[in-house]
Structure 1
Amino acid sequence: MKTPLRFHWIFLFIGTIFLPSCSRNPVTGKREIILMSTDQEIALGQQSHPSIVASMGLYEDKKLQSFITEKGMAMAKISHRPDLPYQFNIIDSPVVNAFAVPGGYVYFTRGIMAHFNNEAEFAGVLGHEIGHVTARHSARQQTSQILGTVGLIAGMAISPKFAQFGEQAMQGLQMLMLSYSRAHESESDKIGVEYSSKVGYDAHQMANFFGTIKRISDNAGQSIPNIMSTHPDPGDRFNNVHAMAKDWQDKNAGNYAVNRDSYLQMINGIIYGEDPKQGFVENNVFYHPELRFQFPVPAEWQTQNSPAQVVLAPKDGKSGILFNVAESKTLDSAAQNVVKQYNFKVLESTKKTIHGNPAIVMISQQIQQQQQGQAQQPQTPANTVQVGTWLIQYNGLIYAIHGLSTADVFASLYPTFKNTAENFRSLSDPDKLNRKPERILVKSAPRNGTFKEIMNTLGMPDKRLEELGVVNSMKADTPIQKGMLLKVIGK
């Protein structure tokens, strides 16, 4: 049976993907289709690194940086891809996270470093992240998405009936991509056990850290269904990694290190939680001591702060305020750049003074751009983004505050946006300017007792007992021996 001519391009395209791009995965040994070369992986990592550093910032601690570089390079040497130009960095973020990008770039937040309780926990997560790189998960994910989309296009072109369900099929593809991601996470857990064990660490500690992750997740009230998560359930990972660690150690007898005290002594003094110098919220006001400004935060709105920008949003997510620095030297050029960058159609523009600072205020709508090959969607108030922009010149910089929502509700939200933007002002309160961050302080237990009793003896309040339990990976009734090192939180 002949293939209709109009479908030749689809199969030709699929053929050009399959023929030249089949390679052997360095971890699994299986031949698979990869659309990203090693050189492209390295180039992607090199391109991503500056933006990661700019948006999140690096945590300056020479001792910790030396530690992760030494351990990272040792593990890279025994990995399946020892020749990549690996780099290991600590990100200045309180979030408990670690991640990797192609080409050998691996990142740990100071938040996760503060939550590790020994070197073996760190080594397990280090092996997991290197595993993402060596197993080429980013490249494989990209390939799966491209081939899956091509398959959908082919199916919709060949079968008009299939085309009727294109949207549902695309949703199915997205769910499949989540399962690929969970599969990759599980594969990296296995690699993490292998790599951390090969360099001499007890991989059971990696499993224990998933217990910490589960407590953090449970305390945050996260209830996302497992099928909708890109990561496997941490409780399942706790059990699976323990089983893999036991299997490895049964087959490879030896002494596997934990190194608890040396690790705790190394992180003594690490910043814990938000660093006030980068900005903090107190009593519905955002303060930035280094840049010496403040502005109000709408009541019950959530705040996400990073070195690059501050995002404020209500829980319903239907509006928001974006605060950042405009890369311009004058207000007029800043306004021109904002209009060009965000594809705005300006409805109103006025110049004014806000608490002694020159400013431009604009109200704009974002012009919808037609997607190639798609019919132009009629623009209505319900699907049009409307933005109030305040550009304020202060202390040699120009700050941009954007309040955004859909056009149909913009008028009702404008007073909220205006209240935040037009109460931007200088910060002079010494208490806010000199606010110190909380830190992890390592103390010796002064006596025997339960974890709760010892925390009380060390001056920690009961309201922070669960938080301290998570940080120490202990329960309130965990028995503590005199002289045991523990983390407390102080300044």
Structure 2
Amino acid sequence: MRAKFARRLIALGGLAAALAGCAGEQTGTILAPATIAVPAQAPRTTGRRMADEADHAKLVASFGGEYRAPATLRLLTEVTDRLVRASERPDEAYAVTLLDSPVVNAFALPSGRLYVTRGLVALASDTSEVAAVLAHEIAHVTLRHATARTEMALRSQLVSRVVADVLNDPATGAQMESQSKVTLARFSRDQELEADAAGVKTLAGAGFDPFGAARFLNALNRTTAMKNGTGSGAEPDMLATHPGTAERINLVTRAARRIGAPGLGVDERARFLAAIDGIAYGDNPGDGMVRGNRFLHPSLGIAFEIPDGIAVENTRNAVLGTTRDGSRRILFDQVESSTGRSLDDVLKATWNDGIDAASIENRIVGGRPAVFAVSKGKDWTFRLAAIRVGEGTFRMIMAAKGSADPDAAFRRWVDSLSGVDPDEARSLKPLHLRIVTASSGDTTEQLAARMVVPDRALDRFLALNGLERGAVLKPGQGYKLIEE
């Protein structure tokens, strides 16, 4: 369970623990069996069997379900068909699913299922940008990256096990396992760069602007920087499975220049904006929402203050958070608890490895019964709490890397847990993207002031529309706004 928690904390792109992402808050190829039929209602090209329907249903559910936006899905499907015809394997078949998640994410199953979140669609500024993401995912499938990565991982595990167990050399086995992780991470990064290069080629072959890939990655970098509260996007550590966004921007820009100068292909901006007008933006109030430095969940009737320096992602099953350097992480979720079961039993049952029995502490938090505990691993210290709110039981967990004990910050976070005022709950309305047409004399500052955002309205407007500071709006052209 502790390992599972650590994986969930690391998966801040909104990914489920079993998934691996690659474009942005990441996009990537999912390692999954390729054995299922596509449902009759799914958009598709032709002919091929897809991944197992049960696996597909679980994956979709983990990302909030399918998002119903017929015009958007129709555009994604038509773009995919164009890209497939221009790819090295035009006989492949693909099915596109639009996911109801605000996280910027896209990924592919080896079978040809492509998944795109509404958060990614909202970030793109034109058809060529979203086509660049789809071309990247198609490249993962045609290049058989998932299969190659799985085979390498299995070989590495086998060699390490043979050395450790059969040859009775655990130290060397552990060293080889560590080395294999580095090798696999480099292999995965190489795959991402290979998919980027192949995707740009396919993008241009389908008649789209090949520079759309760089524009999208640049928008991604800007939004990541705002989320992290920094001036630039965070770069991965040495074991990250994906190259830094800046490196990818350089690669796709060079690939596009080899094809030709800017101005090649079409971006189909007006068509794209018409297809996404009105789609949901950000969190769904029913699943909880982040407002400023607070997380509120009206359905559960709870709220808490987000710890300083923590950027959070609200997934369907948990709130996950991390500092920019990854040295401190949080998790908030609801756990099953039968009537009459003590909170310390609940905590032990959901975290059954390494709890320090002497650390278990019964407390009252805001009039609610709670149990605190500590769990220490080799590199991390975990502070845990189980809290009963009405008939529900929630976990709040903070992890700190190294010798630091997060006790003080953890207790402040737990003490901030409160109910949601009914008036405040009623004020939480879902946000949507609205496409407005610029009039003569409109400025970026004027349009940005109309957006319903917690802060940095101008920066968010510019990043959302692919504009730089000082940009002059074009009368008659559409621009994205975030509105209720």
Instruction: Report if aligned partners of 1:401, 1:421 keep a CA contact under 8 Å in 2.
Output: no
Question: What residue in structure 2 maps to residue 23 of structure 1?
Answer: none
Question: What residue in structure 1 maps to residue 297 of structure 2?
Answer: 288
SS at match of 1:304: strand
1:132 to 135, 140, 146: 140
Q: Say yes or no: does 1:213 pair with 2:209.
A: no
Question: What residue in structure 2 maps to residue 374 of structure 1?
Answer: none
When Rg is computed on C-alpha atoms for both structures, the one with the higher figure is: 1
Question: What residue in structure 2 maps to residue 13 of structure 1?
Answer: none
For residues 202 and 465 of structure 2, the distance between their equivalents in structure 1, rounded to whole angstroms, comes to 25
1:241 to 225, 242, 252: 252
Instruction: Report if aligned partners of 1:321, 1:417 keep a CA contact under 8 Å in 2.
Output: no
Alpha carbons of structure 1 residues 292 and 76: separation in structure 2 relative to 1, 3 Å: farther
For residues 429 and 239 of structure 2, the distance between their equivalents in structure 1, rounded to whole angstroms, comes to 39
Question: What residue in structure 1 maps to residue 203 of structure 2?
Answer: 196
Instruction: Report if aligned partners of 1:44, 1:103 keep a CA contact under 8 Å in 2.
Output: no
Equivalent residue runs for 1:364-443 within 5 Å: 364=373, 388-394=384-390, 398-403=392-397, 417=410, 420-421=413-414, 424-443=417-436
Equivalent residue runs for 1:303-322 within 5 Å: 303-312=312-321, 321-322=330-331
Instruction: Report if aligned partners of 1:89, 1:107 keep a CA contact under 8 Å in 2.
Output: yes
Q: Which amino acid aligns with 1:262?
A: R
For residues 175 and 133 of structure 1, the distance between their equivalents in structure 2, rounded to whole angstroms, comes to 23
Instruction: Report if aligned partners of 1:295, 1:425 keep a CA contact under 8 Å in 2.
Output: yes
For residues 229 and 321 of structure 1, the distance between their equivalents in structure 2, rounded to whole angstroms, comes to 20
Question: What residue in structure 1 maps to residue 185 of structure 2?
Answer: 178
Alpha carbons of structure 1 residues 226 and 286: separation in structure 2 relative to 1, 3 Å: closer
For residues 36 and 446 of structure 1, the distance between their equivalents in structure 2, rounded to whole angstroms, comes to 49
Per-residue deviation, 1:128 = 0.9
Q: Which amino acid aligns with 1:224?
A: E
1:230 to 236, 241, 252: 241
For residues 409 and 248 of structure 1, the distance between their equivalents in structure 2, rounded to whole angstroms, comes to 52
Q: Say yes or no: does 1:475 pair with 2:468.
A: yes
Q: Which amino acid aligns with 1:340?
A: A
Equivalent residue runs for 1:353-364 within 5 Å: 359=369, 361-364=370-373
Question: What residue in structure 2 maps to residue 327 of structure 1?
Answer: 336
CA RMSD of aligned residues (A): 4.5
Per-residue deviation, 1:304 = 3.1
Q: Say yes or no: does 1:257 pair with 2:250.
A: no
Question: What residue in structure 2 maps to residue 456 of structure 1?
Answer: 445
Q: Deviation per CA, 1:327-375: give whole Å up to 9, x if none.
A: 3453529875653342256848898886676x5x445566xxxxxxxxx
Alpha carbons of structure 1 residues 315 and 229: separation in structure 2 relative to 1, 3 Å: closer
Alpha carbons of structure 1 residues 413 and 433: separation in structure 2 relative to 1, 3 Å: farther
SS at match of 1:442: strand
Per-residue deviation, 1:104 = 2.4
For residues 223 and 324 of structure 1, the distance between their equivalents in structure 2, rounded to whole angstroms, comes to 26
Per-residue deviation, 1:469 = 2.0
Question: What residue in structure 2 maps to residue 54 of structure 1?
Answer: 62
Instruction: Report if aligned partners of 1:460, 1:488 keep a CA contact under 8 Å in 2.
Output: no
SS at match of 1:332: coil
Q: Say yes or no: does 1:142 pair with 2:138.
A: no
Per-residue deviation, 1:383 = 7.0
For residues 341 and 373 of structure 2, the distance between their equivalents in structure 1, rounded to whole angstroms, comes to 16
* Larger proportion of helix: 1
Per-residue deviation, 1:289 = 2.3
Q: Which amino acid aligns with 2:443?
A: I
For residues 244 and 423 of structure 1, the distance between their equivalents in structure 2, rounded to whole angstroms, comes to 50
Question: What residue in structure 2 maps to residue 486 of structure 1?
Answer: 479
For residues 276 and 317 of structure 2, the distance between their equivalents in structure 1, rounded to whole angstroms, comes to 26
SS at match of 2:463: helix
1:187 to 191, 194, 209: 194
For residues 413 and 244 of structure 2, the distance between their equivalents in structure 1, rounded to whole angstroms, comes to 39
Per-residue deviation, 1:38 = 4.6
Q: Deviation per CA, 1:259-312: give whole Å up to 9, x if none.
A: 111111222233334444432344654211233322344444443321101235
Q: Which amino acid aligns with 1:436?
A: K
For residues 399 and 52 of structure 1, the distance between their equivalents in structure 2, rounded to whole angstroms, comes to 26
Per-residue deviation, 1:50 = 0.9
Question: What residue in structure 1 maps to residue 42 of structure 2?
Answer: none
Alpha carbons of structure 1 residues 400 and 127: separation in structure 2 relative to 1, 3 Å: same
For residues 354 and 163 of structure 1, the distance between their equivalents in structure 2, rounded to whole angstroms, comes to 46
Question: What residue in structure 2 maps to residue 447 of structure 1?
Answer: 440
Q: Which amino acid aligns with 1:50?
A: K
Alpha carbons of structure 1 residues 334 and 266: separation in structure 2 relative to 1, 3 Å: farther
For residues 245 and 377 of structure 2, the distance between their equivalents in structure 1, rounded to whole angstroms, comes to 43
Q: Which amino acid aligns with 1:465?
A: L
Q: Which amino acid aligns with 2:235?
A: I
Alpha carbons of structure 1 residues 44 and 365: separation in structure 2 relative to 1, 3 Å: farther
Q: Which amino acid aligns with 1:455?
A: T
Q: Deviation per CA, 1:92-145: give whole Å up to 9, x if none.
A: 333333222332232222222112121122112111112212222122112122
Alpha carbons of structure 1 residues 437 and 384: separation in structure 2 relative to 1, 3 Å: closer
Instruction: Report if aligned partners of 1:45, 1:102 keep a CA contact under 8 Å in 2.
Output: no
Instruction: Report if aligned partners of 2:363, 2:371 keep a CA contact under 8 Å in 1.
Output: no
Q: Which amino acid aligns with 1:230?
A: T
Alpha carbons of structure 1 residues 183 and 311: separation in structure 2 relative to 1, 3 Å: closer
Aligned-pair identity in percent equals 24
For residues 129 and 384 of structure 1, the distance between their equivalents in structure 2, rounded to whole angstroms, comes to 35
Q: Deviation per CA, 1:5-31: give whole Å up to 9, x if none.
A: xxxxxxxxxxxxxxxxxxxxxxxxxxx
Question: What residue in structure 1 maps to residue 107 of structure 2?
Answer: 99
Alpha carbons of structure 1 residues 45 and 215: separation in structure 2 relative to 1, 3 Å: farther
Alpha carbons of structure 1 residues 243 and 351: separation in structure 2 relative to 1, 3 Å: closer
Instruction: Report if aligned partners of 2:235, 2:244 keep a CA contact under 8 Å in 1.
Output: no
Instruction: Report if aligned partners of 2:329, 2:399 keep a CA contact under 8 Å in 1.
Output: yes
Please, which runs of 5 or more residues in structure 2 have no aligned partner?
1-30, 37-48
Alpha carbons of structure 1 residues 485 and 185: separation in structure 2 relative to 1, 3 Å: same
Alpha carbons of structure 1 residues 365 and 83: separation in structure 2 relative to 1, 3 Å: farther
**Structure 1 range deviating more: 66-75 or 111-120:** 66-75
For residues 428 and 98 of structure 1, the distance between their equivalents in structure 2, rounded to whole angstroms, comes to 36
> How high is the TM-score relative to the length of structure 2?
0.71
